[in-house]
């Protein structure tokens, strides 16, 4: 098997999709894939056979959805560019604006276009159950969505939908609290709308998620307001569907600290481990004890902070050994860079019997990103 490599398990992806599609049917809602979290397009035909489309946050994402999922995108960009908007219109079934100014700027173009789209506005309920600021769209002064006071003089004419996104790896009880605030702050507008997009962050494929509660919650909301409900999770689709396999190239020792130098980089290939930050689980790691062996995991870049602390193993690690990072499909695969020119991990598919190399990267991938 080539190394380093992201290995996607197609069976695990399918079982996530089966669960999500059951929830979709039972609750009578539309669940679509957020491309920002997962864009491995070779699996889009599979994903498209379970889900009702995908959401784009850029022109490139909207194009990829049209080309590889064969449907129009639900677009929400933080801002649209004049020179791109005509293309966005052609590629989208829904366009959500982040401000009323942006809507007014493009309103005529939408009206005159022969590509019909349904328009939405992103609101900000200024309430979120997310603690980490980097992932909290409702922190004070957030640029994401408009607070309730922006609609004091009424809901903008021609806007059929309302969009909010305030969750991150959250459960249905977090959504329930959020919906209460949405009703308090925006309830007066809901009856005249056609759809509500409840964003992402619904981690409905995690073992702890109470999907029955979600179904009840969504069914009650849909019945009360007679709205189409759209959820656009990303992480939940690719949750626990694949690993990043790396190899130990060297073992560096300084001041009694042993660092396993890997053929991957945290900053280039697993940036959330440093940004969030979080400590990914690796296969074979054990709890700290008098008999276990402690290492740092070192990235291959020259960035001083490109390492993770304190991993323990039940025997000494050897050069050439493989280190397998769990749950590396969502966000990780879309956020990688070619920093330092370090070899990018290949993308492999495991179908239960065989491993297929779907994509490998070479010098030209590195060179073509620059000029
Ligand atoms: C507007 C919007 N929709 C959907 C998502 C997907 O969220 P998640 O991958 O946590 O489900 C995000 C993530 O940032 C987002 O910003």
DSSP of 81-115: -HHHHHHHHHHEEEEEESSHHHHHHHHHHHHH-SS
Residue nearest to atom 12 of ligand 1 (CA): 200
Rounded Cα distance, 286 and 289, in Å: 9
Report pLDDT for 171.
98
Residue nearest to atom 6 of ligand 1 (CA): 200
Residue of 74, 165, 196, 239 to test ligand 1 pocket, by largest number of atoms within 8 Å of CB: 165
Q: Is 61 in the pocket of ligand 1 (CB under 6 A)?
A: no
234 CA → ligand 1 middle, Å: 6
CB 264 within 8 A of CB 345: yes
Q: Domain locations in the chain? A: 10-238, 242-328+336-367
Report pLDDT for 133.
87
Specify the CATH architecture of the domain 10-238. Alpha-Beta Barrel (3.20)
With 0.85 as the threshold, say if the pTM is over it.
yes
Residue of 16, 31, 35, 37 to test ligand 1 pocket, by largest number of atoms within 8 Å of CB: 37
Q: Answer yes or no: same fold for 10-238 and 242-328+336-367.
A: no
- The residues facing 170 across adjacent strands are 202
Residue nearest to atom 5 of ligand 1 (CA): 200
39 CA → ligand 1 middle, Å: 13
137 CA → ligand 1 middle, Å: 10
Q: What is the dihedral of CA 364, 84, 64, 98, to 10 degrees?
A: 120
Residue nearest to atom 10 of ligand 1 (CA): 201
Q: Is 201 in the pocket of ligand 1 (CB under 6 A)?
A: yes
Atom of ligand 1 nearest to the CA of 202: 11
CB 89 within 8 A of CB 115: yes
- In this prediction, the residues of the chain whose per-residue pLDDT falls under 50 are none
Q: Is 235 in the pocket of ligand 1 (CB under 6 A)?
A: yes
Report pLDDT for 326.
98
Task: Quote the CATH superfamily of domain 242-328+336-367.
Answer: Lyase, Ornithine Decarboxylase; Chain A, domain 1 (2.40.37.10)
DSSP of 256-288: TEEEEEESS-HHHH-THHHHTT----BTT----
Report pLDDT for 246.
98
Rounded Cα distance, 127 and 298, in Å: 38
DSSP code of residue 15: H
Rounded Cα distance, 199 and 167, in Å: 8
CB 2 within 8 A of CB 342: no
Report pLDDT for 9.
98
């Amino acid at each position: 098997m080539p190394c380093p490599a992201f290995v996607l398990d197609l069976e695990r992806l399918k079982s996530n999709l089966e669960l999500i599609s059951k929830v979709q049917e039972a609750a009578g809602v539309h669940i679509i894939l957020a491309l920002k979290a997962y864009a491995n397009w070779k699996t889009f035909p599979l994903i498209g056979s379970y889900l009702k489309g995908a959401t784009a946050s850029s022109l490139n994402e909207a194009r990829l959805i049209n080309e590889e999922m064969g449907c129009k995108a639900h677009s929400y960009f933080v801002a649209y560019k004049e020179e791109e908007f005509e293309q966005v219109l052609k590629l989208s079934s829904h366009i959500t604006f982040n401000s009323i100014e942006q809507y007014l700027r493009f309103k005529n173009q939408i009206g005159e276009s022969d590509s019909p789209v349904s328009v939405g506005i992103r609101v900000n309920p200024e309430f979120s159950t997310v603690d980490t600021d980097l992932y909290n769209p409702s922190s004070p002064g957030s640029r994401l969505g408009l607070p309730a006071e922006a609609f004091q003089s009424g809901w903008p004419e021609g806007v059929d939908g309302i969009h909010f996104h305030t969750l991150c790896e959250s459960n249905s009880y977090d959504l329930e609290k959020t919906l209460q605030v949405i009703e308090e702050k925006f309830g007066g507008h809901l009856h005249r709308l056609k759809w509500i997009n409840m964003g992402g962050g619904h981690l409905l494929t995690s073992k702890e998620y109470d999907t029955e509660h979600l179904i009840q919650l969504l069914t009650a909301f849909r019945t009360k307001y007679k709205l189409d409900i759209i959820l656009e999770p990303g992480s939940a689709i690719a949750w626990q569907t694949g690993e990043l396999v790396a190899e130990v190239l060297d073992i560096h020792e300084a001041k009694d600290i042993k660092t396993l130098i890997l053929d991957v980089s945290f900053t280039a290939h697993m940036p959330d481990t440093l940004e969030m930050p979080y400590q990914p689980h690796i296969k074979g790691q054990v709890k700290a004890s008098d008999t276990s062996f402690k290492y740092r995991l070192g990235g291959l870049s020259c960035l001083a902070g490109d390492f993770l602390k304190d991993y323990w193993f039940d025997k000494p690690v050897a050069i050439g050994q493989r280190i397998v990072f769990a749950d590396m499909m969502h966000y990780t695969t879309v956020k990688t860079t070619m920093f330092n020119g370090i070899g990018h991990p290949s993308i492999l598919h495991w179908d239960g019997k065989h491993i297929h190399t779907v994509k490998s990267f070479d010098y030209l991938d590195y060179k073509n990103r620059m000029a």
